[in-house]
Amino acid sequence: MSLESQIIPLIQKGFKEIFDHEVSLEELALQPTRKEFEGSFTFVMFPYLKVTKMAPEAAGTKLGEYLISKSELITAFNVVKGFLNLSVNENSWIDIFRELYTNTNLGQLPTNGQKVLVEYSSPNTNKPLHLGHLRNNFLGYSVAEILKANGYKVIKANLVNDRGIHICKSMVAYLHYGKGETPTSSGLKGDHLAGKYYVIFDKEYKKQISQLIGEGQSEEEAKKNAPLLLEAQEMLRKWEANDAEIVSLWKQMNEWVYEGFDATYTKMGVDFDKFYYESDTYLLGKDIVEEGLEKGVFFKKDNNSTWVDLSAEGLDEKLVLRGDGTSVYITQDMGTCDLKFNDFGFDKSIYVVGNEQDYHFDVLFKIMKKLGRPYGDGLYHLSYGMVDLPTGKMKSREGTVVDADDLMQEMIDTAETHTKELGKIEGFSEEEAKNLYEILGMGALKYFLLKVDPKKRMLFNPKESIEFQGNTGPFIQYSHARIASILRKADQIGVDYQKGFENLSKLEAVERDLIITLNDYEKKIKQAAEDFSPATIAQYLFEVAKEYNRFYAECSIFNEADQEVLAFRVALSSLTAKTIKSGMKLLGISVPDRM
């Protein structure tokens, strides 16, 4: 039982006995006492000015005295303005530590019987992944891990956008300029090969446009009439008509791309339980349009197109099916929504998609609710901000992107250089060293992208963004390695730190602070799931690591004369390492035992 849940009922009783006033347990909240004041928990008196009918200082003092007299737990209090700061019996903290230390399910809450589907990544198959996708993938993977830790059954899904005009563009360019090139013959990863022709398409397309403009067409006309574009559109029609030649080329190019993606996903350390392909799903949703018409949720306009009116919900009218009966984006999304539910029967379905699609998902979810879907309230758009470069927005077509594969490799290379500079690889085999560089490089990158609130746009400066000191992945990894080193030594000299510490009666201030921080882990896991925010975990782990390093600098472990204290400090270190390892796993980051 947490200390808060022991103190709050006491406060409730206090209000009744001292002030003759009933308060509910829910409205009573404690907050951690700020560092500059004495105490561990703070109760704010201001909201109860009318109830206590006395100055907040006086009321706080009365309540404080009451708590001390009624409970062993509270050992001291002070009142600053209207803030009642409570100090807690030192043994309680040792009890808390013991509870955490013996918990075999650290970082894993009991199952809640709910199923959640997390869709993330969802790449286009006409180009390789870039920095923006890294944020998406790391976020999606981490949120899935966080939900698992909260007791959900999680299904990770990837809806691959493998068809459409953009793929046809790559294909058209490949036919014209590819000369039968393959990943093997070119030495390019398959996704990069496809991306190369996507860029070529854009270049040649622009040439044609300016030529047409030179021949007297307006820019708008030229954009529509450029032969390459017409060719791509024709190719899309053929694809939809299942033209054997086109389909075979399409399959070939997609296969190359998937090989490339596989390699990238492996490097990223992300995975999926279920792949959906838009080539399978793009025709879905038309029956839902029928259903919507029958239910009176949708209506037809004169030209036979189908619409939904969301003006009552503060949005606009929105097209759901074209006049010629063909689908738009949202048509298939309605269909896919049902498909996922039929496949898995989820309680929640999370879409990890950039905030440029806020409006789209707003519309989609409102429609599904209007249609009376039982899962309607479980739909959630995890909308994340774009990653900007100092030079502005990234554009695939113009090649101004930070490529995911390149960036990951750079990170790993930088980690190698940095580690060698510090002379920290003595005794490492070549393989161990390579492994370490990868762990550190990827840790730095993932932590960098996950430590900021997903909702906010963020700036990535390739030259300056990635550090290895301060609030970074490697700093936390370093803290873990330090502890691992201590545990090796403890085992080597035979310290018994798997015990109850019954004789321990006194804690240093840093030790107590560290326990308090470690005790927050479960709370943070819950909060991270509520907010769908890995940043909560990242910020927390930084706190843990900082707190530990302070302890490490202030308290000597193996020079401690008192064997009980010595063993306790090893145990405290061990718990810290477990917490760091567990938390970093939620971010998809590994921690080394030596670095």
Q: Restricting to residues 290-329, which ones interact with RNA according to CB under 7 A? A: 301, 303, 305, 314, 316, 319, 322-324, 327-329
Is 31 a binding residue for RNA by CB under 7 A? The answer is: yes
**Applying CB under 7 A, which part among 4-12, 41-49, 128-136, 217-225 lies near RNA?**
41-49
DSSP 136-177: HHHHHHHHHHHHHHTT-EEEEEEEEB--SHHHHHHHHHHHHH
- Closest distance to RNA from the beta carbon of 374 (Å): 26
Q: Torsions phi, psi of 510, nearest 5?
A: -65, -40
Sign of the four-CA dihedral 217, 222, 228, 234: negative
- Check: CB of residue 228 under 8 Å from CB of residue 168: no
Is 355 a binding residue for RNA by CB under 7 A? The answer is: yes
Pairing of strands 153-160, 274-277: parallel
Of the residues 13, 16, 34, 499, which one makes contact with RNA according to CB under 7 A: 34
Is 82 a binding residue for RNA by CB under 7 A? The answer is: yes
Of the residues 235, 535, 571, 586, which one makes contact with RNA according to CB under 7 A: 535
Q: Which x/- pattern, by CB under 7 A, does the window 415-434 give for RNA?
A: x--xx--x-x----------
Of the residues 27, 36, 294, 426, which one makes contact with RNA according to CB under 7 A: 36
Tell me how far apart the terminal alpha carbons of the chain are, to the nearest angstrom: 38
Packing angle of the helix pair 534-554, 521-531 (nearest 10 deg): 160
- Check: CB of residue 330 under 8 Å from CB of residue 360: yes
- Check: CB of residue 298 under 8 Å from CB of residue 281: no
Is 526 a binding residue for RNA by CB under 7 A? The answer is: no
The footprint of RNA on residues 452-511 (CB under 7 A) is 452-453, 455-459, 461, 464-465, 467-472, 474-475, 478, 481-482, 484-486, 489
Q: How many residues does the chain have?
A: 595
Is 594 a binding residue for RNA by CB under 7 A? The answer is: yes
The stretches of 71-161 forming alpha helices (DSSP H) are 90-102, 131-149
Of the residues 9, 32, 227, 500, which one makes contact with RNA according to CB under 7 A: 32
Is 412 a binding residue for RNA by CB under 7 A? The answer is: no
Is 393 a binding residue for RNA by CB under 7 A? The answer is: yes
Tell which residue, 497, 511, 491, has the closest CA to residue 564: 497
In a 13 Å sphere around the CA of 136, the CA atoms on its Cβ side amount to: 23
- Report d(CA 452, CA 44) in Å as an integer: 30
Nearer to RNA, 47 or 345 (CB): 47
Is 224 a binding residue for RNA by CB under 7 A? The answer is: no
- Report d(CA 152, CA 117) in Å as an integer: 10
- Report d(CA 199, CA 395) in Å as an integer: 10
The footprint of RNA on residues 536-565 (CB under 7 A) is 536, 539, 542, 546, 549-550, 552-559
- Check: CB of residue 156 under 8 Å from CB of residue 273: yes
Of the residues 52, 85, 142, 150, which one makes contact with RNA according to CB under 7 A: 85
**Applying CB under 7 A, which part among 213-221, 255-263, 495-503, 526-534 lies near RNA?**
526-534
Is 519 a binding residue for RNA by CB under 7 A? The answer is: no
The footprint of RNA on residues 162-191 (CB under 7 A) is 164-165
- Closest distance to RNA from the beta carbon of 182 (Å): 27
- Closest distance to RNA from the beta carbon of 186 (Å): 27
**Applying CB under 7 A, which part among 1-9, 81-89, 167-175, 576-584 lies near RNA?**
81-89
In a 13 Å sphere around the CA of 236, the CA atoms on its Cβ side amount to: 14
Is 240 a binding residue for RNA by CB under 7 A? The answer is: no
Is 360 a binding residue for RNA by CB under 7 A? The answer is: yes
What number of chain residues touch RNA (CB under 7 A)?
95
- Check: CB of residue 53 under 8 Å from CB of residue 20: no
- Check: CB of residue 115 under 8 Å from CB of residue 152: yes
**Applying CB under 7 A, which part among 78-86, 98-106, 175-183, 579-587 lies near RNA?**
78-86
